[in-house]
Amino acid sequence: MDQDLEITLMVNGTPVTRRVAARTHLVDFLREELGLTGSHVGCEHGVCGACTVRVDGDIVRGCLMLAVQADGAKVETVEGLSDSKALAALQKAFHEKNALQCGFCTPGMLMAAQDLVSRKSRPTREEIRAHISGNYCRCTGYQAIVDAIEAVVNAR
Ligand code: FES
Ligand code: FES
């Protein structure tokens, strides 16, 4: 029998308290319970990066973390970072460089890219590639994505 547990966490700056089944993954909780559907669900086993969210400052796979493990944590999704304008330069560059086609990978890709540019002021192309290597894109061939991230760091 599945057990419901009460959790309280901060999601995009707003305190949230809910009862959740212990087996609920964080990304499913965010999408289905809170309606934050910007984080996508692709492989559901930690490979594709579509579900990337930030927990207590670090990007994690939302499909590999249980919602109950985020009890007491500060969680940020692509919606929160967009609202805070943290992603504005990257979103503009992705648009200008045609760094998306279907867009399925894009929220996770933006989260990974933002993590890199917030930690490192002048990453090389190789470092950009390495940092997004855990985020799969089936459409673009990655070149335009790397171009977009590079354009943001070069504009600094
Ligand atoms: S859905 Fe989480 S890594 Fe693919
Ligand atoms: S734009 Fe389609 S998966 Fe990346």
Which ligand ends up closest to the CA of 43? 1
Q: From atom 2 of ligand 2, which residue's Cα is the shortest distance away?
A: 102
Q: Judge residue 14's burial from the number of C-beta atoms within 10 Å of its C-beta, 0-12 exposed, 13-18 middle, 19 or more buried.
A: exposed
Alpha-carbon torsion, ordered 59, 63, 69, 75, to 10 deg: 40
Whole-angstrom Cα distance, residue 121 to residue 134? 21
Whole-angstrom Cα distance, residue 67 to residue 26? 4
The finding on whether 104 has its CB within 6 A of some atom of ligand 2 is yes
Per-residue pLDDT reduced to its tens digit, 128-152: 999 999 999 999 999 999 999 999 9
Q: Could you tell me what percent of the chain has a pLDDT over 90?
A: 97
The finding on whether 140 has its CB within 6 A of some atom of ligand 2 is yes
Judged against a pLDDT cut of 80, whether residue 1 lies above it is answered with no
85: confidence class by pLDDT, cuts 50, 70, 90: very high
- What are residue 131's phi and psi, to 5 degrees? -70, -30
| CA 52–ligand 1 middle distance (angstroms) | 7
For 73, what's the count of Cα atoms within 13 Å in the CB-facing half-sphere?
Answer: 19
Which ligand ends up closest to the CA of 62? 1
The finding on whether 136 has its CB within 6 A of some atom of ligand 2 is no
CA-based R_g, the chain, Å: 16
Instruction: Look at the chain and count its residues.
Output: 156
Judged against a pLDDT cut of 90, whether residue 2 lies above it is answered with no
Question: Looking at ligand 1, which atom is closest to the CA of residue 136?
Answer: 4
| CA 156–ligand 2 middle distance (angstroms) | 27
What's the pLDDT score for residue 52?
98
- What pTM was estimated for this model as a whole? 0.96
